[in-house]
Structure formats: structure tokens, C-alpha cells
Structure 1
Amino acid sequence: MAAAIIRKDADSDEVRQFLIGLARGTAGALLFALPMLMTMEMWFLGLYVNSWRLLLLCILNLPLLFLLARRIGFENIHSRTQALRDAITAYGLGIAVSAAVLLLFGIFYDQLTTSNLIAKIALQSVPASIGALLGRSQLGEHSDTEDEEDGEYSGETGYLHELFMMMVGALFLSLNVAPTEEMILIAYKVTPYHILALCLVSIAIMHGFVYALHFKGSHQVHEGQEWWQSFLRFTLPGYVIAIAISIYTLWTFERLDHTSLSQIMNAAVILGVPASIGAASARLIL
């Protein structure tokens, strides 16, 4: 009898923690995705975005959520099954929050077809689902010490894990600005000197965020280690990741169609500014 009561209490506590995680996930989806949910270009993209490119983005988002859930799921993650469940839950929250907000804003009242409605929600659900998982990291009451005790978190993480977090940060922040018309306008106005300056500034900001400014969660250069070693090992690969994510995001939103290679690189470097900041800050946030 006592064992049954203890087991029942444990199950109810697990359900309670999961429900709290869902609430935090909903809050995180709103907090991180609301700027995009209120962006006109994101609404219009649903009318003409290439369906295959959108499908690819949605498919790639699921393994990204799975890997992210392994680090910051709705509860302590002890198995791949739990991580997959949290990834699917986050995606579901992203879809639900996106549909609800767009409905409240009256975006669905413009005589849209079913395919247009699905495309609008699918576009918004990607950043919203990432925000749902980030909600636990930012809105939870756990501390770094508690996470270390649970085996979830350690200040020093593996190299591939660091690169993955950079990719998540770059993707999330680039999604905020990639669909906007300002990207095209800036690409039209800049000169090669601006592009070179933007590259150097982006790289300098990335290295400063992670190593030089001593933010909470930032890395410290180990004693006896030269600054250029961390620069070559993390900063430059991080910038390459930011540029690659920028190109992919622009391609998904059809910003690179019928453009020359120089125009593509200009747009990638411009979008690479927020993407590189997102990549660098991912280590601080996550």
C-alpha cells in the first residue's frame, strides 16, 4: 500500500512538472516568436513560399528540436524517447501558439485557401517551437548547479555540441530578419568595403561575446592558451556556420532566386550579422 502511494505521488509530481513545462513552453513560444508573428512579410510569405522548401524547413526542424531537447527539454531528460516526446510537444506548441495568435490578429480572414493557411502556420511554427524549448532555459527556476547535479548541464561541453548550439542561435535570430524587405534594401546599398567591414565586425563581436566580455556562461581562455587558438577553434567555425545558415534561410524564403553569386554573398554577409550574434549568444542563453 505504501509503495503504491509513493508511486502515485511520484507519477502525479511528474505530471505536474510536465504541465509546468508546457506552460513555460507556451510562454517561451510567445516571448521568442511574437516579433515574427507580428511581421507582415512572414504573413505574406505564406501566400507564395515554395512548398517544397517550406516542407524541408519543417522536416529539418524536428531533429533540431530533438537535439535541443536533449539539453533543455520540458523536464529532466534521461532517454531519447523523452527527448523525442519533448521535441514533438514543442512542435505542437509552436503550431498551436502560431495558429492562435494569427487567428487573434485576424490574419486568417483574407479569403485564404487551406494551403495558404497551412503555410502561414508552418512558417511561424518553426521559430515558435524553438522558443517553446528555450522557454525552459530562460523561464525555468532551475539553476546551473541543479542542472549539473541532474546530469543535464556542464559549463564545458563537447565541441560538436558547441557548434550545434551556434547553429540553433544563428537560425533563430536569422529567421527574425531574413523575410524582411530591409534585407534586400541593405544589400542594394552596400559597397564591397561595407561587406568587408561587416565581416570583420561580425567576427569581432562573436569572439567578444564568447571570450572577451566575460558574460555569464561565456568561456574563459585557459591558462597558457593563446587567444588565436580559441579564435580558430570556435569563432571562425561559428561564423562559417552563421553564413551557411544565412544562405539556407535566404534560399528558403526565395531571396536568392535569379541573383548573381556576388549578390548572394552580399545578402549572406548582411544576414550573417544577426546570425553571428545569435550563434555567439546561444552559448550564453542555452
Structure 2
Amino acid sequence: MGIARNRQKKIWITEINDIIRGACGGFLFGIPLLYTMEVWWIGSRANPPIVMLAIALLFVVVFLLNRTEGFKKHKRNCPLYQSITDTVEAMAIGIFCSSFVLILLQEITLELPLKEALGKIIFEGVPFTLGVALANHFLGDTRNSNTQEQTNRKNDGNSEGLSATLADIGATLIGATVIAFNIAPTDEVPMLAAAVSPPWLLVIMASSLVISYGIVFEAGFSNQQKRRQQKGIFQRPLSETVMSYLVSLLAATFMLWFFQQLTFNDPWTIWLEHTLLLGLPATIGGAAGRLAV
């Protein structure tokens, strides 16, 4: 009985890890397109046959990806039914994540007609779902690292100190810039800021922190064990996440000022709203940058 219970527990833990890794991959790949108003409009105007065609095509693409290496750790040439269930699960994760962010950005509200909401979710869900399917292939899974390798990394981490912290700051700035630089000069951020209330900004801040933490420390991507064992000024999961979020916000503020989306004549509330909204993709980019160091 105890062995069966432990086995069932391991199955659930593995499933949860797969879902977290897939969702984080979706955020990494899908977040830039969510700040594109043209996709919002295309989705809201799409007819049901076009939406169904998009779902069918997405299913085929994700199914083919799962036959090679999807977001779960299966052996290649797994049974057909396994690839089908993985495809359905990947699409569900992608659609859920895109729905969550669209609600977070107030692009889906209770007043929006169901047809328009579904169109937005499906069209924005395409890059999210592809990110879910490709997460394992491009970003890898390091949860099964052996003990000796972890020990060596821990010893290396103890000697890094300040240099590890500076490397994280640099990687965060680079990643945040790569993801958010193309969003900063557009009209999407002011449009979104006009619809967001102050309490909702707190939700965006919390979501940014949770997603960043999940990508770097919970999804099982490359160098995750090494990151947990590094020793430095902010080299702990929570402190590093907060520090990197502040660095990403600083980068977002500079980019908005650089593209003259913010000026020194604007009220501080405008600066805060715009920075926090651009801070979401910047934080995700910063998390991706930290995965590379």
C-alpha cells in the first residue's frame, strides 16, 4: 500500500512539474505577441470557422512536436494515444495562460462578448501553446541532475560571490531589453494603462514576480540546481526574484523614456502605470536572461 501511494505521489509531482515547465515555456514564447493590438483585433473579428481552423492547425503542429520531444519527459516514439493526450494538455495550458494574461491586461472583461473573447484567446494562445510544446526541447530539464554534479556546482557557487550577482543583473538587463524593447515604443502600453486601476496594478506586480520565480526556480529549466546553490548578495530564490524584478522595472522605465513614451512632465502615476505594465514582459525576459548564466 505504501509503495503504491509513493508511486502515485511521484506521478502527481512529475505531472505538476511538467505543467509548470510547460506554462513557463508558454510565457517565454508567447508574452511578446500579447502586447500586439493587431492580434487582439484579428482575434475579436475572427469568424467561428476561422477559429476552428486555427485550433485544428495548432493541434496538428503541436502533435508533431510531441512526437519528437514535447513538454513532458517521454521517450521518443511513445504510443499514439500518449502524443494525443499530451497535445490536448499542451493546448489547454497554452489557452489557459493566454486567457490569464489577457484578463490581467484587461483585454478580456465581463463586458466583452463571448465570441470576441474566444477569438482573442485562441489567436493569442497559438504562441503560448507552441511555447509549451517547445519548452522541453529548447530549455531542457535539469531536475534529475546527479548528486555529484550538484555538489560541484555548489562549490563553484560558493566562490562566485559578488560576480554571480553582477552577472545576474547584467543577464536580467539583457533579457528584459530583448523582450521589451520592441514593445516600449508602441501604443499598446498607453492603451493598457488607460484601462488598468491601481489595485489591478498590484495583481500585475504579483503575477510578474510569480511567473519570474516559476521560470527560474520551479520549471526545471537549465542550470536551475546551480541557481539555487549560488552564494552572493541576492543569491536566494526570493531575494533574487525581487532584485531582478526591480532591475527589470528600471530597464522598462529607461526604455519608455528613451522612446519618449514618458517625459519628466508626466505625473508620477503615469510613470508607475506604464512601467509596471511594460515590467511584465521585461521581467519574463529578465528571467530568460538569467537562465543563460
TM-score (norm 1): 0.45
TM-score (norm 2): 0.44
